[in-house]
Amino acid sequence: MVSEIFGQSAFGVYEVLSNIVPGSIIVATAFIFYLSVAHLSTQEIALPDIFLSVLLFFLSFIVGVAIQGLSAHFEKWIFLRTHREQPSKTLLDSGNAAFPAHFKNQLLELAQERLRVPKESDPQHIFDLCYSYVIQKGIGSRVAQFLSMYSFSRNMTVAMFLESILLISWASFVPTYSDWLGVLALGSLALAYLFYERFLRYSNSFAKEVYRSFYVDAVTRSE
């Protein structure tokens, strides 16, 4: 019973963390930046410690939600800029070798049978229906895991890029620490690139898992 409840709520937990972690990085850096420029310490801020902590946590979540929205536009821009199609659209193409041809043909047949998908439907439409099927049938635990990692990596890509901008701005206001802040800014850009690579890899894994989960369940029910 406990594992069942956790399985149902795990994605919600991952989603909250996907907002809190990148948001807290930006808020913490911006807060310390403000203190250093204003020559203040936390003791000089006329707010109770508990209230300040709750306020920073709330701001972290709000900033994280904003980053999530920004990262969604970033995803569209990346695929458009690099002349790529999203994996959900390309995995069923005849020229894509991720799945064997017989698997793709049978998956399309199952989609037509189970989901009433027209034969010439857009691949993205097929993917969306397969995803809805997997989630509604409760067979998407690995799908939810890949989606959470994919979303987290996408959010962190944007967050670390914004972090580098904050650090560079900080260095221009506080020249004393400009060298260290410059190193941290370069490190943030490097992390942004690493998360970007993870975002591309997990987006592919997420789309594959949706199709696999739908295929296995549909075949099992047909037998």
C-alpha to C-alpha distances, 157 to 142, 175, 220, nearest whole angstrom: 22, 27, 39
Residue whose tokens read 């911006």: 30
Residue type, 187: G
> Could you report the per-residue pLDDT of 22-72, keeping only the tens digit for each?
999 999 998 888 888 776 665 556 556 677 778 888 899 899 999 998 988
Count of Cβ atoms closer than 10 Å to residue 21 Cβ: 16
Which residues neighbour 181 within 8 Å (Cβ) at sequence distance 6 or greater?
167, 168, 170, 171, 174
The percent of residues above 90 in pLDDT, for the chain, comes to 33
Cα–Cα distance measured from residue 150 to residue 39, given in angstroms and rounded to the nearest whole number: 39
Cα–Cα distance measured from residue 74 to residue 154, given in angstroms and rounded to the nearest whole number: 8
What pLDDT band is residue 2 in, cutting at 50, 70 and 90? Answer: very low
The token pair at 61 is 């979540």
Structural contact between residues 159 and 22, judged by C-beta atoms closer than 8 angstroms: yes
Cα–Cα distance measured from residue 200 to residue 90, given in angstroms and rounded to the nearest whole number: 14
Domain boundaries, the chain: 2-222
Count of Cβ atoms closer than 10 Å to residue 209 Cβ: 20
CA atoms within 13 A on the CB side of 26: 26
Cα–Cα distance measured from residue 30 to residue 36, given in angstroms and rounded to the nearest whole number: 10
Count of Cβ atoms closer than 10 Å to residue 49 Cβ: 10
> Could you report the per-residue pLDDT of 176-212, keeping only the tens digit for each?
878 888 999 999 999 999 999 999 899 999 999 999 9
Triad 80, 84, 87: Cα angle to 5°: 120
Cα–Cα distance measured from residue 193 to residue 198, given in angstroms and rounded to the nearest whole number: 9
Question: Residue 157 pLDDT more than 90?
Answer: yes
pLDDT attached to residue 165: 93
Mean pLDDT of 100-118: 89
pLDDT attached to residue 10: 46
Count of Cβ atoms closer than 10 Å to residue 169 Cβ: 16
Residue whose tokens read 């006329």: 46
The token pair at 151 is 């979303």
Structural contact between residues 124 and 89, judged by C-beta atoms closer than 8 angstroms: yes
